[in-house]
Structure 1
Amino acid sequence: MKHPSVLTSEPGLYAGIAASVFFYSLCTRYLTTGSSAWVSLGLFILLFLAMLWSSFGVVRHADGLAVQLGEPYGTLILTLSVISIEVIMISAVMLTGSHNPTLGRDVMFSVLMIVLNGLVGLSLLLGGMRHVEQTFNLQGANSFLGILIPLAVLGLILPNFTESTRAGTFSIEQVVFLVVMNVVLYVAFLGMQTMRHRNYFIGENDEPDHGGEGRLSVSTHTLLLVFYMIPIVLLSKKLAVIVDYGVSELGAPGDLGGMIVAILVLSPEGMAAIKAAQVNNLQRSINICLGSALATIGMTIPAVLLIGIMTSNTIVLGLNNVEALLLMLTLLVSMVNFSSGKSNLFQGVTHLTLFFCFIILIFD
């Protein structure tokens, strides 16, 4: 494709740049108080939509790389791109807003519930409604869960039972161990996924329909993906200010801020997973969903803990009793539903039931 055509086909990139210039021209005080509550709400919606548009641009070019490189590399690039956005946003909120020791935990828990119950449930339900029964590579799903389960339990439940520090937190020695363990296990998993056992993550329909996004070169897709992430990084700090102010002023549940960040991050990736299931490529859908959940734990926990060390702030990772129970139930249901290599819509209904339970528990 000619260079001018590339420039004129990326309106989302220009919208992200324009939004960055606009919001950085406003003082922080105006972003929170504004002239009225409606102005603040309008600024939040505008900021949210600009970041969402940029996120979809990231996913679109990750899909383009998937066409060029094949699976599982394409899905892996998509997952790492989205989770990088998540880590950046969490870091921005932690470093910009007032100290919230449970923010990282809340975002990770929201991501796990949205991915493992919301996205997986919708994918299985819609895929089952259209194709009755779908198949996937059982070894791949078990590989994801085999790493996800211990990392999730050690990172989000174990802190409630350690005795060297107060409940929900780790000592510095335990933090170092957890960071190293997460990084080593996740890097080892990536090596298995991309090299030694690549066939575990490839299904019968391993060439998804990406809507012609592979028409550009690998280098062009890579550059545009990075350029789309720049406005997201810049706007994350402004979103942190508004979310922190809004949750405190409205007296909203603390988990609500985490859910807002999770929805923003996962929306484009969720669309890709659901679309893959609808075209009978459940393997790609599972790679996206379980890969996103694993990357959330593998990348976000070390980032949150390291930020806590650098800022000398306490980081609470341990879930409360209700959340811990819901997480364990989700992991158990996932083990059962991904144990046969086949899926149907009733399994999707089960996951969606747990997702709606999560939504209700946020507000009650």
Structure 2
Amino acid sequence: MGSDPLNITLTRSIITPTALLRLAIGWGGFLLLSLTGHLLGSTLPAWLLLLCLLGIILVILICSFGVVHGAEQLARRMGDPYGSLVLTLSIVLIEVILISAVMLGPGEHSSIAKDSVMAVSMIILNLVIGLSLLVGGIKHGTMAVNRTGTSSYLVMLGVLLMLAFALPGLIGEAGSYTTAQRIPLVLLTLGLYAFFLYRQMGAQAPDFTELQPTGNAAGDGAEKSEPRTPIAQILREHRKEISLRLGLLVLTVLPIVLLSHDMASLLDLSLERVGAPVALSGILIAMIVFLPESITSVRAALAGEIQRVSNLCHGALVSTVGLTIPAVLVIGSLTDQRVILAESAANLTLLAVTMLVTVAGFGAKKLTAIHGAAHLALFVVYGLVVFS
């Protein structure tokens, strides 16, 4: 009985009035859209269509800030890489569910995975990382990353992005893997990703923690990883708090998932009326869906936590490619749909240069604002490619 007041205090500190308001707005918006969704269509006046679209985006953004807050609290309690992984997998699952829902819906969507994952790659590797390095570099001057952990992300990305975008155009048919090629590619991708997670959360977890100066007299910049409490001990000591925060995070993420599909439909209608490129829809969806991770990354950079930026951004992209590509290949096989993955020469060139700039930057002893500016320039080039 003596612990009840403590439990009540803990619950109230997590389930705050602000958190309840976000849930009410998110689920209320979904309920309203469920009741009126049949009225949204091509016959809707342009101004009303835009108003509905902005309303959905506003609700998604409100819920996104709730996701950011909850994930940050979890990250502080659990420590990296576990805390960052919670946010990363939450957002990536939204992306996978969205793409899967579109593929299982009516119409032809053979290139939805390619367009979405390419947009996510450019947004994460260039826009989010570029902005994070720029603001972090301006505030802190130079920042040191845990190069062993970041190198693990980058070698994974090199293999996964090659399997996703380059290999289908070389060994597949019309940019799509053949039926015989899909099964080994799915097993290889999932197996590699599962092994990566196993090592990241186990023996190599220290490789993904922030570096701290050793304070040696030589001043040679030698650094060491932060000491960390074993995750089993953290889960045991703070089980109730972590369970409550995880539950609240899931309840806040779900409205984003449920509303994003309708947002995608309205975006397609709006872009069709103004004659914008089809790929722009995937870019806008990716920017909104990954907003929580983007905000958290910029905040981490401002706090000088550059390894957390890498965990959030590079980790998110590894998870996106490692989960999305197998999912769409399996769905394509089950529904007898073509899944076009091979990218254009322009996008492959841009992706290759992006990876070279990333390796050169994160392989250095220190990261600066110049690295961020280079990544942002590449994102501008991506915009030019989309509209060309």
Shared fold, TM over 0.5? yes
Alignment-derived partner of residue 177 in structure 2: 170
Contact 1:34 1:40 in 2 (8 A): no
Mapped partners of 2:277, 2:261: distance in 1: 21
Shift of residue 3 of structure 1?
4.7
Shift of 1:65: 1.5
Corresponding residue to 1:125 among 103, 126, 134: 134
Quote the residue 1:158 is aligned against: 167
Residue 21 in 1 paired to residue 31 in 2? yes
Q: 1:193 aligns with which of 177, 200, 203?
A: 200
Partner of 1:276: 300
Equivalences, count:
355
Structure 2 partner of 1:81: 90
SS in 2 for 1:32: coil
Instruction: Give 2:190's aligned residue.
Output: 183
- Residue 7 (structure 1) shift: 5.3
Does 2:356 match 1:332?
A: yes
Residue segments in structure 1 that go unaligned for 5+ positions in a row? 208-213
Deviation at 1:2, TM superposition (A): 5.9
SS of the aligned residue for 2:177 comes to coil
**Match of 1:210?**
none
Q: Which whole-Å deviations, capped at 9, do the CAs of 1:227-263 have from their partners, x for residues lacking one? A: 1122123223322322333333433212111101110
Check conservation: 1:31, 1:241, Cα contact below 8 A: no
Q: Do 1:104 and 1:304's aligned partners in 2 also have CA atoms closer than 8 Å?
A: yes
Matched AA of 1:184: G
Q: CA deviation at 1:222?
A: 0.9
Counterpart secondary structure, 2:171 = coil
Alpha-carbon spacing, 1:309–1:244, altered in 2? closer, same or farther (3 Å): farther
What is the correspondence of 1:67-146 to structure 2 with a 5 Å cutoff?
A: 67-96=76-105, 98-146=107-155
CA distance in 1, matches of 2:123, 2:328: 20
C-alpha contact (below 8 Å) 1:97/1:244 kept by paired residues: no
Letter of the 2:24 partner, please give it.
Answer: Y
Distance in 1 separating the partners of 2:104 and 2:265: 10
Matched position secondary structure for 1:314: coil
User: Does structure 1 retain, via aligned residues, the 8 Å contact 2:264–2:285?
Assistant: no
Please give the root-mean-square deviation of Cα atoms over the aligned residues, in Å. Answer: 2.0
Q: Distance in 2 between matches of 1:293 and 1:21?
A: 32
- Give the number of the structure whose alpha-carbon radius of gyration is greater: 2
Indicate the residue corresponding to 2:231 in structure 1: none
With the length of structure 1 as denominator, give the TM-score of the two structures: 0.92
Q: Deviations over 1:69-127 (max 9, x none)?
A: 11110011111111111112222233335322111111100111011111111111111
Match of 2:330 among 299, 306, 310: 306
Q: After the TM superposition, which segments of 4 or more aligned residues of structure 1 sit over 6 Å from their partners?
A: none
Name the % identity: 34
Question: What secondary structure, in the 3-state scheme, does the structure 1 residue paired with 2:211 have?
Answer: coil
Distance across 2 between alignment mates of 1:41 and 1:14: 23
Give the 3 Å change call, closer, same or farther, for CA 173–287 of structure 1 in structure 2: same
